Amino acid sequence: MIGLGLIAFLLALYGNSLWQLWQQSRQSHWSALFSDSYFWHILRFSLWQATLSTLLSVSAGLLTAHALFYRTFWAKKWLLKLFSLTFVLPVLVAVFGLIGVYGLSGWLTQTLVWLQIDWQPQLYGLNGILLAHLFFNLPLASKIFLQALNSIPYQQRQLAAQLNIRNGDFLRLIEWPYLRQQLLPLFALIFMLCFTSFAIVLTLGGGPKYTTLEVAIYQAVTFDFDLGKAAMLALVQFMLCFLLFQTSSYFSRHTPTVLGKQQHWRQPLNRTFTLLHSITLILVALFIALPLLNIVFSGVTSPAFWRVWQSAQLWQALGYSLTLAPFAALLAVLMSIALLLAARRFRWHYRIKTANTMMNIGMMILAVPTLVLAIGLFLLLQQLDFSLWHLFLIVALCNALIAMPFVLRILATPFNDNMRYYENLCQSLGIRGWTRWRLIEWQALQNPLRSAYAYAVALSLGDFTAIALFGNQDFSSLPRLLYQQLGHYRSREAAVTALILLLLCSLIFLVIEKNDDRTDSTDL
């Protein structure tokens, strides 16, 4: 019953936002929007930058995964951990690191000047957007393609070696069919992430020429306070995102990741592949590690280090972040548990479509972007006199919904496994309710729950979308403070704030890694 009540609540929440947007858009003229050349420019650029970002990420991820699979080196484990860290890294922290490396006064520019090369990198604009999207999506693509390569049975590799199928022919005949299964779902997923990118485009876009739909909605509300235009843009954003979400769900495939020891057998490749793999891994490692090193170096050596720690603004933002993130994560985990308990019950009774529909509703935030949801809530509650508690609850709810797709993906398999393994036993012994949770469920779910909660805390800690709309001088967070410092060219203070965020997310990442290692050892 709780799960069904949650479904009703989510449908009412999303439905209200879309209804509020539709009601507000009726006060404006759609014909004026569609006849506006700037709207079509924004739409074209949103699709164009997402397409380019996806092509770069998928291509580089494919090459990186191939190199990681075939090359064994001492830092391989740490490089994979670095890839995992980018999943919980706040966007604005990575943006600060990229500016420190590729900006006009960054490490790359200083190196080129030292080498007397007359060329400067242009970070702001399309180049910066593509670079930041590549930073976040390259590790994701690499890990998914690496799982696909690991799923190839070792017997196929040994048989191919006996038949003298090697190098390019082996890639084309044996590996490519497995990689191709992940190509379309991964392309759809990364395209959707890049299309709905907000903080990256807001900070690195550099002007109206490089504005996306998401940023245009934010500007219409905060700068122009044109709610009718914002509502129309938000509805266009929703329709496109819903289409992308359905496409991504249609193409989604499951790749097994549990491997036997014999499946690590690999046949040697020629020198061309070996050299290409070595160059790829060096460049990728530098590309991911240098921005993070820049954050640490800039923060520790900042002349404003101690002054920032004495700032009341920092402590206020830190206090709200450390309160908001755990609360939003708790909401995300509790809602996910309620949804999974109901969905697995329907699945047990062979009502697969109903269970899948419930899971899709839990992931609806991918189809209704956070900014669209926040705008709808803003239109509904604009007549109220907001207090800090109202703002806190709204932002916490938005952040919880953002984290829910990730929490659901982490918990879905162990929840369904528990149902499959123990349901008949529990029914025969009359074990139900809290007793079942304490004796049966918790034993298998405690590590996945800790990992899911840690991921949700990290995502909420680094989220900027909801706080950008509802935040003010009395209610802020570390990402919002970092954005303000970057916007006012206070790079010394921004370095310290970025370092604090990086350290907090690294601590959370260590919790995730510890739980993952504990789970692996238990499985063995």
- Is residue 429 over pLDDT 90? no
pLDDT tens-digit series, residues 203-212: 898 678 888 8
Q: How many CB atoms within 10 Å of residue 515?
A: 19
- Is residue 255 over pLDDT 70? no
CB 204 within 8 A of CB 129: yes
Please report which residue ranges of 310-387 form alpha helices under DSSP H. Answer: 312-348, 352-362, 370-381
Q: Using 50, 70 and 90 to split pLDDT, how confident is the model at 46?
A: very high
CA-CA distance, 158 to 75, in Å (whole number)? 27
- Angle at the Cα of 377 from the Cα atoms of 373 and 381, rounded to 5 degrees: 175
Q: What is the pLDDT of residue 234?
A: 86
Closest residue by Cα to residue 396 from 358, 370, 361: 370
Read off the tokens for 238.
Answer: 């929703």
- Is residue 296 over pLDDT 90? yes
Q: Work out the average pLDDT over 284-304.
A: 92
Three-class DSSP category at 320: helix
pLDDT tens-digit series, residues 138-152: 999 999 999 888 888
CB 48 within 8 A of CB 133: no
Q: What is the pLDDT of residue 253?
A: 54
Q: Work out the average pLDDT over 84-90.
A: 87
Please report which residue ranges of 88-125 form alpha helices under DSSP H. Answer: 91-102, 107-114
What DSSP designation does 374 have?
H
- Is residue 167 over pLDDT 60? yes
User: What Cα–Cα distance (Å) separates residue 89 from each residue in 94, 222, 291?
Assistant: 7, 26, 12
What DSSP designation does 382 have?
T
- Model pTM score: 0.87
Choose from 11-15, 87-91, 129-133, 253-257 the range with maximum mean pLDDT: 129-133
Q: Work out the average pLDDT over 247-259.
A: 56
pLDDT tens-digit series, residues 189-237: 899 889 988 889 988 986 788 888 888 888 888 887 787 888 888 888 8
Q: Work out the average pLDDT over 92-96.
A: 92
Mean pLDDT of the chain: 85
User: What is the set of domains in the chain, with CATH numbers?
Assistant: 1-35+302-523 (1.10.3720.10), 36-300 (1.10.3720.10)
pLDDT tens-digit series, residues 16-35: 888 888 888 877 778 878 88
Beta strands in 100-216 (DSSP E): none
Q: Using 50, 70 and 90 to split pLDDT, how confident is the model at 265?
A: low
